[in-house]
Amino acid sequence: MKDNKLINQILRGLLIYGSAVVLALGVTSIFVACLGYDVSDALSTLLTTSFKSSFGFSETIKKTIPLLFATYAFTIPFMIKFFNIGGWGQMLMGGCVTAAVGLSLASLGLPPVVMVPLLLVVGMLAGGCFALLAGFAKAKYDVNPIISTIMLNFVAYQFVNFIATSSLYKDPLEGHPITRYLPSSATLGFMGGVPVSIFLSLIVIVLVYLMMKKTKLGFEITAVGYNLKASKTYGIDFSKTIMLAFFIGGALAGLGGCLEVLNIHGRLIEGFAKTSGAQYGIFGILTSLVVAGNPLAAPIAAFFMSVLLVGADSLQRTMQIPVEVVFLSQAIIVMFVVIIRKRFGKGGI
């Protein structure tokens, strides 16, 4: 009986997502055909680049990790029905504070076992506290978090410029705002082309799942999202819950930014936390909307979105099809998923 229910749920999910993807790829194909390219070539490039070579696969994982954290940044505050548009800003803060602290501590010559965990915590705190500003403004002054988080994105962007151009950290040989490299004791390496932060990400996936589904805090966040008034009536502290939700979301985004610095670039680059020229924050929102804020499905959706992003880069290189065509199909996927879920599922957004 229970197994049947689970199988039904999975089948229904596959049907919703499958049909949305098929429909979106159909629409994309029409555009590709109109632009005068070969449709079957384009589709196979889009969907298989990630799996055809180890380079393609490691590129996909490199994108999946920051995208996953950006997705969590939106998903967790969204569980209490608030929009955190500031995932990107929180990633930037996580990344640039990590870089600043890492460079400042370089002369101490701390071993990696101290340096790396320290910087991970610093990155998380930076992102978390930055998001907490929006949570605090909502809890105490009823400021709409959509507005505050969008505004804070600008602050974070300028803060990256400030750090990357400051004489303390700037790499004098670069024309672009870029800091010097962090000491090797602070950076993370690769295993077979895949960034080692993948292991950390897997741990975070498990922790987020446990937190949301099994802990008291997860229940309180869920309850506030289900019904604010009832949770207040039965003693849940709304202000504390919303601030915690924003802090956790922001901390995960900050961790994403921190890992970009420690594992991908090895330093702070103005314009990091972007893929194919667009912010991870935006893709994180898209991905979160696709999974309707379900923290369990987020890693799968983040991986699939990354497959499309890698495919998009490849399309541009090999067939000169602009990456924007793939952004288009991602947006269409989201819209179809939302529509189909509204029409046939149990709601969501």
Q: Which residues bind another protein (CB under 8 A)?
A: 210, 214-216, 218-220, 222-223, 225-227, 229-231, 233-237
Closest to 252 (Cα-Cα) out of 301, 291, 288, 304: 288
- Given the structure tokens 């998923």, which residue do they identify? 337
- Shorter beta-carbon distance to another protein: residue 184 or 227: 227
Pair of tokens at residue 81: 């029905």
- Shorter beta-carbon distance to another protein: residue 2 or 167: 2
- Shorter beta-carbon distance to another protein: residue 141 or 234: 234
- Shorter beta-carbon distance to another protein: residue 11 or 210: 210
Task: Give 288's contacts (C-beta < 8 A, 6+ positions apart).
Answer: 71, 74, 75, 78, 298
- Given the structure tokens 């900050």, which residue do they identify? 254
Burial of 148: CB neighbours in 10 Å, binned 0-12, 13-18, 19+: buried
Give CA separation, 109 vs 15, 41, 97, 166, in Å.
Answer: 55, 52, 19, 22
* Closest CB 189 distance from another protein, rounded Å: 34
How crowded is the C-beta side of 189, counted as CA atoms within 13 Å? 5
* Closest CB 214 distance from another protein, rounded Å: 5
* Closest CB 81 distance from another protein, rounded Å: 10
* Closest CB 339 distance from another protein, rounded Å: 20
Q: How far apart are the first and last CA of the chain?
A: 29
- Shorter beta-carbon distance to another protein: residue 79 or 101: 79
* Closest CB 287 distance from another protein, rounded Å: 22
User: Among positive and negative, which fits the CA dihedral 261, 304, 279, 35?
Assistant: positive
Integer Cα distance of 243 and 35 in angstroms: 48
- Shorter beta-carbon distance to another protein: residue 223 or 269: 223
* Closest CB 76 distance from another protein, rounded Å: 17
Give CA separation, 235 vs 169, 220, 255, in Å.
Answer: 48, 10, 32
* Closest CB 237 distance from another protein, rounded Å: 8
Pair of tokens at residue 124: 């998380």
Integer Cα distance of 75 and 289 in angstroms: 8
Integer Cα distance of 82 and 77 in angstroms: 5
- Shorter beta-carbon distance to another protein: residue 56 or 348: 348
* Closest CB 22 distance from another protein, rounded Å: 28
- Shorter beta-carbon distance to another protein: residue 232 or 274: 232
